[in-house]
Amino acid sequence: MTRRGITVLGATGSVGVNTLDVLGRHTDKYRVVALTANRDHERLLAQCLEHRPDFAVLVDKGAAEKFAAAQQETNLETRLLSGVDALAEVACLPQAESVMAAIVGAAGLVPTLSAVRAGKRVLLANKESMVVAGRLFTAAMEQSGAEIIPIDSEHNAIFQCLPDNADTPLAGVRKILLTASGGPFLHTPRDRLSDVTPEAACAHPNWVMGRKISVDSATMMNKGLEIIEASWLFGLTEDRIEVVVHPQSVIHSLVDFVDGSVLAQLGNPDMRTPIAHALAWPQRFESGVDPLDLIASGRLEFLQPDEERFPCLRIAREAARAGGTAPAVLNAVNEVAVDAFLGGKLRFTAIPEVIEAVLDQADIADHYDLESVIEADRIARLMADAVVDNHLARTA
C-alpha cells in the first residue's frame, strides 16, 4: 500500500504534537512530508529526527540558523527552509495529499488557504483562518475540489453527526449545538474576573492547549470564533448555532433534527480523537485515547452561557451577523488583546472592551478578497494597539 503524504503546519504546538503522536502510530499509512514551526527549533529538530520529513520550515531566520547548525551534527537529510513564504510553499507540495493546518491565529490564513486552493485534504485546526476569510475558503473548495475535515473537537463532532450525504448534508437539521466547557472561570463572580492572572486563565480544567486558545476559552471568545467557524463549515446562519455550557467536556457537540432526534458525539477530552478521525476518514483507526468510561464520568451538566460575564460571545455573534470583514476585525483585535493580557498589559475584563471599541470604529467592508481582508486585519491590529495603549495610560 502506498503511504499518504502529509504536511503538518504548526507541528511544534499542542495540536501539532498530538498529530505527530497519532501519525507515529500509523507509519504504515502516513509519511510526513513537511513540518513547520515559528521559532521552536529544538522541538522541530527532535520531531524531524523522529519523522524524517522531506522539508522543515522555521519562519524565524535566527531559529533556522540554529536548526541548521544542530542538523550538521546529525544524519538528517531534511531540507530546511525559512521565512514566511515557505509555509505556503510546503502547504502545496505535490507529494502531500493531506495538510494539517495547526498554526495559531491569522498567521495561518495564507498557508491554509493555499492548501485548499491546491486541492488538498485539509485537516483544519486553525479556526482563525476560517473566521477571517470563510468566504474565500468556500470559493476555493468549490474551485479546487479540496476537502476540509474539521479538527476543532466541536466541529469534528458535528461532522460525525451530520447525515452522510454529500449533496444534502443539512437535510432535516434544525440546528446545531456547540458545547463549551465554560473555561476556568465558569463560576468566578464578575467582580473577581478583573484580577485574574494569565496563569489562571491558561489553566483549563479539561484540555491542555496553547496559551492563546486557552485565554479564548476563558473569555469564551473561543466559542464565539467557533460559531463563525461552524457557520462557514456547515453552511448555517448563526441563529441556527446554539451554545450549551457542558463543564465535563464529554459531549463534544450535537445536531438537532426536525423529527426531535438529537445526535451527539462523546469521548474523553483528548484532541487525538478528532485528529485520528480526520486522518483515517472515512475509515477509523486507533488514536491512543482511552475508551470513555461512562460510569466514571458521572453526572453530565448543561447550563446556559452567561453573556453578562462573558460578553465575547455576544460580540462574536454580532460580528457574524454583520458579515463581510467584521469577523476578520474581531479576530485581529482579539489576537492583540489576548497578547496584551498574556504580557500583563491588559486586564482580563478589558479584552472584550478593546474588541468592542475597535469594532465600533472600524470600517467594515461587505466584500473582500485575500488582499483586502489581510489589509483589514492589519488596520484592525493598529487600531487595537492604540486602544490598548490608551487603556494602559488610563490604568497606569
* Contact footprint for Mg ion (CB under 5 A): 152-154
Q: Tell me, residue by residue from 209 to 228, as one string, x for binding to ligand NAD by CB under 6 A and - for no binding.
A: xx-xx---------------
- Min separation Cβ 233 and ligand NAD, Å: 13
Q: Going by DSSP bridges, is the β-strand pair 251-257/262-266 parallel, antiparallel, or unpaired?
A: antiparallel
Tell me the residue number closest to ligand NAD, measured at CB. 13
Q: Binding residue for ligand NAD (CB under 6 A) from 21, 65, 207, 297?
A: 207
Q: Within the chain, where are the H helices? A: 14-24, 41-51, 61-71, 85-91, 109-117, 127-144, 153-161, 190-193, 198-202, 211-219, 221-234, 272-280, 294-297, 312-322, 326-342, 350-361, 370-395
What are the grid coordinates assigned to 314, written together?
455576544
Q: Which long-range contacts (CB under 8 A, 24 or more apart) does 160-165 make?
A: 160/265, 160/277, 161/253, 161/254, 161/255, 161/263, 161/264, 161/265, 162/234, 162/255
Instruction: For residues 97 and 112, give the distance between their C-alpha atoms in angstroms, rounded to a whole number.
Output: 14
User: Strand 241-245 vs strand 173-180: parallel, antiparallel, or unpaired?
Assistant: parallel
Q: Which range binds ligand NAD by CB under 6 A, 202-210, 342-350, 360-368, 380-388?
A: 202-210
Other Cβ atoms within 10 Å of 163 Cβ, number: 14
Q: Using CA atoms, how far apart are residues 189 and 330, in angstroms rounded to an integer?
A: 26
C-alpha cell at 163: 447525515
148 binds, among ligand NAD, Mg ion, none (CB under 5 to 8 A by kind): none
**Residue nearer to Mg ion on the CB measure, 207 or 257:** 207
User: Which of ligand NAD, Mg ion, none does 127 bind, CB closer than 5 to 8 A by kind?
Assistant: ligand NAD
Cβ proximity to ligand NAD: between 10 and 323 the closer is 10
Work out whether 338 is an interface residue with ligand NAD (CB under 6 A). no
Q: What is the helix (H) or strand (E) element at residue 180, kind and residue range?
A: strand 173-180
For position 104 contacting ligand NAD by CB under 6 A, the verdict is yes
To the nearest whole angstrom, how small is the minimum distance from the Cβ of residue 41 to ligand NAD? Answer: 10
331 binds ligand NAD (CB under 6 A): no
235: cell is 453552511
281 contact, one of Mg ion, ligand NAD, none, CB 5-8 Å limit per kind: none
- # residues contacting ligand NAD (CB under 6 A): 26
Task: Choose the contact partner of 103 out of Mg ion, ligand NAD, none; CB within 5 to 8 A by kind.
Answer: ligand NAD
Q: Which is nearer to ligand NAD, 119 or 269 (CB)?
A: 269
Which of ligand NAD, Mg ion, none interacts with 241 (beta carbon under 5 to 8 A by kind)?
none
> Nearest CA to 266 among 243, 240, 246, 236?
246
Is residue 288 involved in binding ligand NAD (CB under 6 A)?
no
> Which residue from 5, 13, 53, 134 is in contact with ligand NAD, where contact means CB under 6 A?
13
Give dist(CA 35, CA 179) in Å, integer: 31
Residues that bind ligand NAD (CB under 6 A): 10-16, 37-38, 40, 59, 102-104, 107, 125-128, 152, 207, 209-210, 212-213, 271
